[in-house]
Chain A
Amino acid sequence: MQNGEDLRAKAKEALAKKGTYGKDFELDRYDAAPRDLSPVDDLSEIPDDVQKSMVNVGILPSGEGRSGSMLFMDNTVVHSSTRKVDGLEMLSTRQALAKYNGLKEYSWRLVSPDKDKYTARSFLEDADGYFIRVKAGAKVEMPVQTCMLIGSDKKAQEVHNIIVVEEGASLDILTGCSTGKHADESLHLGMSEIYIKDGGKLTFSMIHSWGKKTGVRPRTAIQMGANAQFVNNYVLLRPVDSIQSYPVAYVNGENSSVKFNSICVSHPGSEIDMGSMAVLNAPGTGAEIVSRSITMGGKMIARGRLVGNAPRVKAHLECRSLIMKEQGITLAIPELEASVPDVEMTHEAAVGKIAREQVEYLMARGLSEDDAVGMIVRGFLEGGIKGLPDALKQEIDEAMSSANLGN
C-alpha cells in the first residue's frame, strides 16, 4: 500500500492532468467553496429558496418517508439526521475518517486520487461528504436522501462520499444536486466510492439540476461482491454547461447484477457526456445499461462499455436518442469487450427524430401538438426503465412540461 505522502505527491502532479473526456476546467479559477457554514438542525428551517431548490431535485425538507437526510452545502455538511433505523449509520466523511481510523479499506480505494485533476483536487482538499453504511443483514426500508447544493458563485464544491452496504443488507439512496440562483458559474467535483458486499442491494437514484454555467465532474466507482445488486438511476433534464461522468462498476462476485439507467436532456449550450461501464469479473454476472436522451440543441454523448471477463456473463447495452432541434448533436458510443468465449453481450443504439405519425395520432385525439410531443417524449425517456422512483418520474413530468418541446 502506498503511504499518504506518496499519494499526495502523485495527486499534486495529477493537478495538471486533464480529464479523459469532456472540456477542460481550469481549477485555479475556482476557490474552494466555504467549509464553515452554520449547521441547521431542522431542514424545514432553511430559507425558502433553498428549500425550493431541494424540492426541485426530489429532496423533501420535511424528511417525510425518508430514513435519513443529509444536506451538503458548498463544502459543509450543514445537516445530517437519521431516524432510528437498525443498522443504518450516516456520518460526514470526515467524522467517519476520524472515527474509523481513516477508513483505510474504503477511502480512495476505488477512485484514485491521481486519476485526473478533479480527483486530485478533491483528494488534496480533503473533501468532505457523506459516509453511509448499512450493517450486515439490515434492510433499510425508506430511502436515505442526500442533497448537494452549491450556494457560492465561482467556487468549487468538492465532495467525497463513501457508501458501504454490508452482507445481505439493502438500501435506497435518493440524491439531489443543484446550484443556488447566484451560484451559476461553479464547479462540482463529486467523488463516490460504493461498496456492496455479498448479497447486498443498493438502488442509487440521482436528480441533477445545475446552472447554465456549471461544470460537473463526478467520479464514481462501485465494487460488488457475490449475489449483489446495484441499480443506478440518473436523471439530468435542465441546462448545464458541461457534465462528464463515467461511473464504473467492478462486479467481482458470482451472480451479481448491475443496472445503469440514465435519462438526459441536452439544452442549447450544454455538453453532456454520460457514460456507464460494467466490468464483469465473476461467472454468472449480468449488466444492463439503458440510456435515453434527447437533445434540444445541445451536445449529447452517450457512452456505454461492457467488459466480460468471466464465463456465463450476460450483458446488454441500449442507447436511444432523439434529436428535437436542428442544432442538436448526438453521439452514441456503445462498446463491448470480452476476454472469454462463454459470454452473451449485446448492444443496440438508435438515433432519430420523433415520429410524426405518433404526434398526429395523439393530435387526432384532441391533444395540442405541444402536449402530444411532450407525452411522447416523456414516454420515450421513461419507457425503457422499469421501477423508476416516483421522485424521478415527477421531475421528468415537470421538466417536460416546462421544456417547450413543440417548437
Chain B
Amino acid sequence: MSLLEVKNLKVRVEDNEILHGLTLTVNPGEVHAIMGPNGSGKSTLSHVIAGKPGYEVTDGQILFRGEDLLEMEPDERAAKGVFLAFQYPVEIPGVTTWNFLHTALNAQRKARGESQLTSPEFLKKVRAVAKSLNIPQDMLKRGVNVGFSGGEKKRNEILQMALFEPAVCILDEMDSGLDIDALRIAADGVNALRSPERAMVVITHYQRLLNYIVPDFVHVMSKGRVVKSGGKDLALELEASGYTQFEDAA
C-alpha cells in the first residue's frame, strides 16, 4: 500500500483555487523532491496534508496508509506519523522548547497507546538527538524559536523530525536560511532517518540540497499542478533551464 496518496486535489483559499487537481503518490522508502516557482502551491499542499485550517478542499482526496487523512484532526495526523517541517516556523514565547518537545512527544505516544516518557527518559533522548544534529543544549531551554536565527529555526524543525520519528516527512524549504555546514548536518540528519518504511517529500528551490538528500523522484509544480515528474536528473535540468518551459504546460 502507498504511504501517502494525493489524488486530484483541488484546494481553495477564500475565493481562489490554488491547487487545481494535484496527484502525487509516495511509497515507503521513497524520497520525492518537489520543485517549482514561487507561488506554485508547494506550501499550500504541505499545509493541507498537515491539516492547517483555512483551506477548503473542493475535490480529490488524500490517503495515508489507505485512510482518509482529510477526516483527521492535525494532532491525529501527527500521531499517525505525518510530519511537516515548516517553511516558516512560528515563535512561541513563554513555552520552552524543552517543555514543548516533551509535551508533544508524550501527546503523540499517548494517542498511539504507548507509555509516557518521564523527564529523565525524555532528557536522555532529546540530548542524543540534539547532539547528532549539532544543536546546543541551550537552545532547548529557550522559548520555542524565540529569537532563533532563521537557520536555528530550521534546525529545530529537523530536531523535531528526528525526535518524533514520523512515517512521512514533508520538508518545506528546509535548506533556506541554512549555512553550508548547517545544511550538511541537517541533510545528514534527514538521511539518517531514511529507511525502507519511511518516506520523505523534500520541497526545495535548489538542486544543491538534492546532492545531499538524493531523491528517487523529482516533481515540478507549476500553478497548482504537477506538470512534470522524473528522476534526480530532472533537478539538474531545471537548474540549467529554469521553469519557463513549464509555464505554458500548466
A binds B: no
Residues of B within 8 A of A (CB): none
